[in-house]
Structure 1
Amino acid sequence: MSSQLPVAGPAEVRAAAIRDLSADRRAVVAVVIVNGLASAAGLAAPWLLGRIIDTIRAGGGDVLGAVDRLAFGALVFTVVQTVLAWWALKIGYRFGERTAARVRERFLSRTLALPPRAADHLPAGDLIARGSTDASLVASTLRSAVPEVLVALMHALFLIVAVLVLDFRLGLCGLVCLLGVGAAVRWYLRRARPVYLAVAATGADLADAVVSTAKGARTVELLGLERRRVEVTESAVMRARTARLDALWLRTVLFPWVDVSLALPVVGVLLVGGALYAGDLVSLGVVVTATVYLRQLVGPLDTLMLWIEQLQGAGASYARVEGLADIPEPQPTVPAQNLGDRIQVRDAHFSYTGARDVLRGIDLLVQPGERLAIVGTSGAGKSTLARLLAGLDRPRTGSVTIGGTPVAELPPEQLREHVVLITQDHHVFHDSVRDNLLIAKPDATDKELYAALEAVGRRGDLDTEVGTDLDDAGAQQLSLARVVLADPHTVILDEATALLDPKTARRTEQSLAGVLRGRTVIAIAHRLQTAHDADRIAVMEAGELVELGTHGELVSAGGVYGQLWRAWHGDPAAR
């Protein structure tokens, strides 16, 4: 798995946008129709203004009455335009909310559908940035861009057509003067996409640096890596700053260029229209109407320019959100039949980077129903071995099998029926205790839920709301209760009770021992009391399995485990 998440290409983003628009096509059609009517109504007032001017210049018997009628018509059309524009925006914003929800749900579904082996290797900061910052930007853009851009496009198109119909010469003059806007947009779009992708990517790198530093704060402090982590974070900050300055430079060129270019059509029509009026080739009312039309054109074009800039950032975010679909899906595997419960590790070597093995030559056979404890100093390879046993990683060489079938090749559904890994990391949803437990077994009865809670030493009402305010001990107990409900034949506890106080941890482990009787339990723990209760103990040191036996055998042997046990009990001879 690459350390960087993929980014969707322009064609994929366009296809996704078309799918999102097609999913609510009735709303899109309604927005276009209502916007078209609003834009058409908006053309009436300038045209009536030109008629008023020509009527006043022509004079006649009932000039005042004619002007009043024309002015009243302009007022009516202005009110109609306002109401239609409001209605179009209402339809558009509702469409945007529904589409934004689809984008977020699609991203969440793709994230949850990732196989555990793939999800576990994804860069956390990048994934968080895509699910929060990028998804929010796409959602807010869809809420606002679709209605506002459609309104601006329809309005600009109607105004340009109106000027051409009013007087082709003046309309052509206005279009020629708009070439500067087209040149500015073309220059900007040729440079914008890579710049805004860099802004999003460097922002994700910065988030990843902050998240990884915060997550490993204790390790950073223990190993004295503060200066190195500060340097990494400062480097990420500087890259993000440089990318944002590049984007800012594009904007500082685009907007002044566009502001000047938008003033040119009005100036050009006034000059050309004045010359035509002086030669009696066009009426003053037509020149004024054309000028007002082109002056009104500044509004929608200015809106489009603002959205062109914002859409580059949103397009980059859209590409990052949709890029999750490009993560290779695991090859379908055929469910194995009659696997049995025996887990065997044969000459397993494993490396995270490919440069150095963190596990070397591991041979281990775990019998059904056995309680195996894996102990060792920090960094000995205990958690890595747990990941191989749970199928989250596959060995570089050698094998890890259940009933002769490689664990990592089992389909996720079948793997969960056989092996469940519980670590120190846990998650509690802001919901009732009942709903948090039903994740493991949706059809569980309240009696089963209470029994699972009782098994891990927790009591309380199933309807109690829990969330981020729940302490670590309570959250771990809920995680362990889910294991009881899932009922796999093998449970791997990777320091699953590490955050509980010793008394609660001991009680929880004893309760689990009773509930999981007859099942295989592999416990990875720092507390040697847990190892004392196991059938066998595997001792890890520097990535190798150095001792294997019962508690009594290993203590009598006086090896690594014996020294750890005596040191834990404060035996001076072990020091």
Structure 2
Amino acid sequence: MSGLPVADRATVRRATRRLIARDRRAVAVVLALHATATVAGLAPPWLLGTIVDRVSAGAGVATVDRLALAIGGAVLVQTLLSRYARYAGHRFGERAVAGLREEFVERTLHLPVGVVERAGSGDLATRSSVDVATVGTTVRDVVPTIVIASVQLTLLFGAVFLLHPLLGLAALAGLPTIALVTRWYLRRASPAYLAEGAAAAELTETLTTTAEGARTVEALRLADERIGHGTARIARVWGARRATLALRTVFFTVVEASYPLPVAALLLVGGLLLTRGEVSLGAVVTATLYLQQAIEPLDRILQWTEQAQRGFASFARVLGVGQVPPERPGRAAAPMDERLVVRGARFAYVGGPDVLHGIDLEVRPGERLALVGPSGAGKSTLARLLAGIDTPREGVVSVGGCPVTDLDPAERRRRIALVTQEHHVFIGSLRDNLAFAAPDASDDRMRAALATVGADWYARLPDDLDTLLGDGAHQLGAAEAQQLALARLVLADPHTLILDEATAALDPTTARRTERALAALLTGRTVIAIAHRLNTAHDADRVAVLEGGRITELGSHDELVRADGPYAALWRSWHP
């Protein structure tokens, strides 16, 4: 399995700047409100120092009362400004997160199908849920907190320097230790959290595939093997989280030990300056209170730094989805006709040997071609090449003289549709599920499409086309879900249809009725059917037999039966 890429630090920094620049006015308002609130918060320590000096000089109770009242007013102003600043900050964060989620969904929908399949469901599911949520928390809470706390620290330390430069220098006594341990932590945290995210994705993939294949696991008695596999993935997650925890224990321990140093240094220097008459007692008290105030924003910065590293690692994984090259935009020229031609096509999946070996095939417009052969012969792989999902390693697959993969994706899907054994029922109404194929289709056209594929069960639904489907609503069986997928195909109305065992989940009677209905409807269209049921081959214009990634026979049903080759043997085994 080849995972999705992860963005580098430069890309994450650029994306972060774009995220902020997109709503720079709101950011400016938030910073201005918090800066003003911080300035208002500078007043109480200064006023308290003034009280100390005035009392030392013999001031009366009235003076102290006035200064105390001013302290109360400053606290009230700071509280109101901080409240509105937090409100504005959360509004900015929610808008940023909403935009990020929309961009992620758009990037995900533009991923090539082959890339999604190779990446696996676990990686994409983790990025779309855990990573996006983590980035949301970071944008909404972490980044504003760190930025605002940094502004507060700048103002507080600046105020100490204004009282006396030596007091300011003393207040910085603990910063070198904090800076060194922070640098040590940051250099190791990002790769550690990326490793934790990758381990979590592998665990999700394991749990997802085990749950989806629960019946197979039970039938083949693979429970112990899957438990062992899951335990190994859990152990990897546990190890990755222990690694990040070890970093945090060193980081926070050193930081907490550094807090008393500046306070002790400031009191020592302040005492010396006081004895020399260079500062007043009130100034020393004010500087000490400022330093005590600085601990809270500094604590917030350092505590949220851990979450910020987790958030930036998740942001790198989210942005990595956008680094997957999209499907090629395609050529402006339209194909001359609907003729599908394969010349010298060879194909291998990533890291594996060739599964198709020099395929040559021509499918005429309006022809019905059946692809038959044993499992693993390459039928589904050839179907993917014909649909333009994968590109041949050598050779070319073209429609009307244009390589299929060079066509604009929307144009290609309009001309060629691939329906496989896999199908999906989206959460929503039956109408919503059908509208994916034809958003402008009327209700009558949708009902006609369902009737065409023999889906007479829709008439028994409680709310007709408005009946909700999916988890927590009306559940469709495998056969009904596959008929729904075929009804979408009818609505999409492509010229070329590739049916990869599209009726495999239907019982023989229903499948036969559905295939006959489709055959009646699809007159004049090119149909390529891949199936183990040879009645499809019997009804086709031509049959191509694949064995070992090569076409070994090509002709009509009667011609191949008379040739007494591999197809004849298959036909006799199917009709003893």
TM-score (normalizing by structure 2): 0.90
In structure 2, the partner of 1:181 is 178
Matches within 5 A, 1:400-439: 400-439=397-436
In structure 1, the partner of 2:483 is 477
Q: CA RMSD in A?
A: 2.7
Counterpart Cα distance in 1 of 2:427 and 2:130: 21
In structure 2, the partner of 1:343 is 340
Counterpart Cα distance in 2 of 1:389 and 1:474: 27
Contact 2:112 2:389 in 1 (8 A): no
Contact 2:330 2:405 in 1 (8 A): no
Contact 1:34 1:85 in 2 (8 A): yes
Deviation (angstroms), 1:531: 3.3
Q: Deviations over 1:272-328 (max 9, x none)?
A: 223333444432222222111111111100000011111111111111211223223
Matches within 5 A, 1:477-556: 477-555=483-561
Deviation (angstroms), 1:252: 0.9
Counterpart Cα distance in 2 of 1:146 and 1:399: 50
User: Counterpart of 2:310 in 1: which secondary structure?
Assistant: helix
Matches within 5 A, 1:18-29: 18-29=17-28
In structure 2, the partner of 1:466 is 469
Counterpart Cα distance in 2 of 1:216 and 1:548: 36
Matches within 5 A, 1:359-378: 359-378=356-375
Q: Say which of 256, 259, 268 aligns to 2:253.
A: 256
In structure 1, the partner of 2:268 is 271
Counterpart Cα distance in 2 of 1:330 and 1:529: 36
Q: Deviations over 1:124-169 (max 9, x none)?
A: 3322222222111111111112332233222222211121122322
Letter in 1 for 2:52: I
Q: Say which of 419, 426, 439 aligns to 1:442.
A: 439
Deviation (angstroms), 1:270: 2.2
Counterpart Cα distance in 1 of 2:210 and 2:550: 29
Counterpart Cα distance in 1 of 2:223 and 2:379: 26
Deviation (angstroms), 1:444: 2.5
Deviation (angstroms), 1:90: 0.8
Deviation (angstroms), 1:176: 2.6
User: Counterpart of 2:33 in 1: which secondary structure?
Assistant: helix
User: Counterpart of 2:77 in 1: which secondary structure?
Assistant: helix
In structure 1, the partner of 2:10 is 11
In structure 1, the partner of 2:40 is 41
Counterpart Cα distance in 2 of 1:512 and 1:133: 43
- The more displaced of 87-96 and 437-446 is 437-446
Contact 2:373 2:545 in 1 (8 A): yes
User: Counterpart of 1:267 in 2: which secondary structure?
Assistant: helix
Deviation (angstroms), 1:462: 2.7
Counterpart Cα distance in 2 of 1:215 and 1:444: 33
Letter in 1 for 2:482: Q
Q: Deviations over 1:377-396 (max 9, x none)?
A: 32222211111111112333
Contact 1:96 1:146 in 2 (8 A): no
Letter in 1 for 2:451: E
Letter in 1 for 2:468: E
In structure 2, the partner of 1:84 is 81
In structure 2, the partner of 1:54 is 53
Structure 1 residues 191 and 99: CA distance shift in structure 2, 3 A: same
Matches within 5 A, 1:219-258: 233-258=230-255
Structure 1 residues 266 and 541: CA distance shift in structure 2, 3 A: same
Contact 1:115 1:412 in 2 (8 A): no
Deviation (angstroms), 1:521: 1.4
Contact 2:542 2:555 in 1 (8 A): yes
Q: Say which of 275, 283, 287 aligns to 1:286.
A: 283
User: Counterpart of 1:462 in 2: which secondary structure?
Assistant: helix
In structure 1, the partner of 2:321 is 324
Structure 1 residues 502 and 46: CA distance shift in structure 2, 3 A: farther
Counterpart Cα distance in 2 of 1:178 and 1:418: 66
Counterpart Cα distance in 2 of 1:553 and 1:334: 39
In structure 2, the partner of 1:399 is 396
Letter in 2 for 1:158: L
User: Counterpart of 1:362 in 2: which secondary structure?
Assistant: strand
Counterpart Cα distance in 2 of 1:431 and 1:26: 38
Deviation (angstroms), 1:332: 4.5
Identity %: 52
- The more displaced of 151-160 and 468-477 is 468-477
User: Counterpart of 1:30 in 2: which secondary structure?
Assistant: helix
Counterpart Cα distance in 1 of 2:429 and 2:409: 27
Counterpart Cα distance in 2 of 1:27 and 1:282: 41
Q: Deviations over 1:18-38 (max 9, x none)?
A: 111111112101101110111
TM-score (normalizing by structure 1): 0.90
Contact 2:110 2:326 in 1 (8 A): no
In structure 2, the partner of 1:101 is 98
Letter in 2 for 1:431: G
How many residues are treated as equivalent by the alignment?
Answer: 567
Deviation (angstroms), 1:240: 3.2
Deviation (angstroms), 1:173: 0.5
Contact 1:346 1:364 in 2 (8 A): yes
User: Counterpart of 1:518 in 2: which secondary structure?
Assistant: coil
Counterpart Cα distance in 1 of 2:38 and 2:192: 35
Contact 2:335 2:401 in 1 (8 A): no
Counterpart Cα distance in 2 of 1:272 and 1:37: 30
Structure 1 residues 464 and 97: CA distance shift in structure 2, 3 A: same
Counterpart Cα distance in 1 of 2:70 and 2:512: 85
Structure 1 residues 218 and 341: CA distance shift in structure 2, 3 A: farther
Counterpart Cα distance in 2 of 1:523 and 1:265: 78
Counterpart Cα distance in 1 of 2:209 and 2:381: 19
User: Counterpart of 1:358 in 2: which secondary structure?
Assistant: strand
Contact 1:540 1:546 in 2 (8 A): yes
Deviation (angstroms), 1:228: 6.8
Contact 2:358 2:550 in 1 (8 A): yes
Structure 1: 5+ residue stretches without partners:
none
User: Counterpart of 1:125 in 2: which secondary structure?
Assistant: helix
Contact 1:335 1:414 in 2 (8 A): no
Counterpart Cα distance in 2 of 1:249 and 1:354: 37
Contact 2:425 2:481 in 1 (8 A): yes
Counterpart Cα distance in 2 of 1:404 and 1:216: 42
Letter in 2 for 1:409: D
Contact 2:161 2:168 in 1 (8 A): yes
Counterpart Cα distance in 1 of 2:113 and 2:52: 74
